[in-house]
Amino acid sequence: MQPDPTPAPAGKTPPSGKTLPEVMLSVRGVKKVYQTDGGDIEAVRNLTFDLRPGELACLVGPSGSGKTTLLKCISGLMAPTAGEVLLDGKRVSGPPKKMAVVFQEYGRSLFPWMRVRENVELPLKNQGVPKAERDTLVDEALEAVGLSHVPRSYPWQLSGGMQQRVAIARAIAYQPEVLLMDEPFAAVDAQTRADLEDLIRVVWKKLGVTVLFVTHDIDESVYLGERVIILSSSPTVVQEDIVIDLPDERDQLNTRALPRFTELRHHVYEQIQLAKKGHRPAAAGSTTA
């Protein structure tokens, strides 16, 4: 972890040398209506927000606020009913090459018939990355998540937390520009979760990747993010978009003990409570920080 005293995310420069666009991921007026036999269900009404390159944003909202729906629209797994998602200025119409997704259900997102190493390697192999380069990327990714010692195991031989590490390693090895995470730690125990949260911060800093982290856990969103986007209850709009002005160097004990952490947590909690009661922001847009 390099020390970075700048609290506001604006001061962050991505490690890669090339010039990056102002906006990496742009969600523009996304609306999703599911057509069912029992009538239409509006899961997402109108969502607009932008992520700058190298930003780590958390998306938090009450349960059933269409978080997963939104993530599926962003990742190109599902087409929005209206609006569009732009990745690096290009409209997303299918899963983009520059994006990797880590799902909540680790047990169902890894291939059980492949060993850990093969799982991490498969997306690269599929893209025709040469063997030598592939090996380096896989080794580095496994090293980064602390799993260098189990390349020959099958995923189901590992604990839940370790399986999710494999999924993260697979995403890292893929070298995405945007990493989407859909409540990745919702199904692991509290201690493992704390380790994995720190892992995400480390990986994010090391790779300079743009991360959108979806969670229902308020503490987690404040601890992890440079920014927290709070969603309203369904039909979903952006309730509030706040900057997390905590020191860049975070620590499970000290950061969580900061008065500012408590304030922010309190604020997000209040907003979520309001959202649950059906309160909606005056303007259906966002107050982008």
**Which residues sit at the interface with another protein, rule CB under 8 A?**
72, 75-77, 95, 97, 99-101, 103, 105, 108-114, 122-123, 126-127, 154, 156-157, 170, 174
- 8 vs 77, beta carbon nearer another protein: 77
- 97 vs 279, beta carbon nearer another protein: 97
Nearest C-alpha neighbor of 93 from the set 78, 103, 111: 78
CB of 196 to another protein, least distance (A): 18
Contact 145, 188 (CB under 8 A): no
Number of CB atoms found within 10 A of residue 273's CB? 11
- 122 vs 231, beta carbon nearer another protein: 122
- 52 vs 72, beta carbon nearer another protein: 72
Read off φ and ψ for residue 120, nearest 5 degrees: -70, -35
CB of 274 to another protein, least distance (A): 32
Length of the chain (residues):
289
**β-strands 90-91, 82-87: how paired?**
antiparallel
CB of 103 to another protein, least distance (A): 6
Three-state secondary structure call for residue 133: helix
CB of 185 to another protein, least distance (A): 16
Name residues whose C-beta falls within 8 Å of residue 16's C-beta, 6 or more positions apart in sequence.
208
CB of 94 to another protein, least distance (A): 8
Which H or E run contains 256?
helix 254-257
Nearest C-alpha neighbor of 230 from the set 222, 220, 238: 238
- 185 vs 261, beta carbon nearer another protein: 185
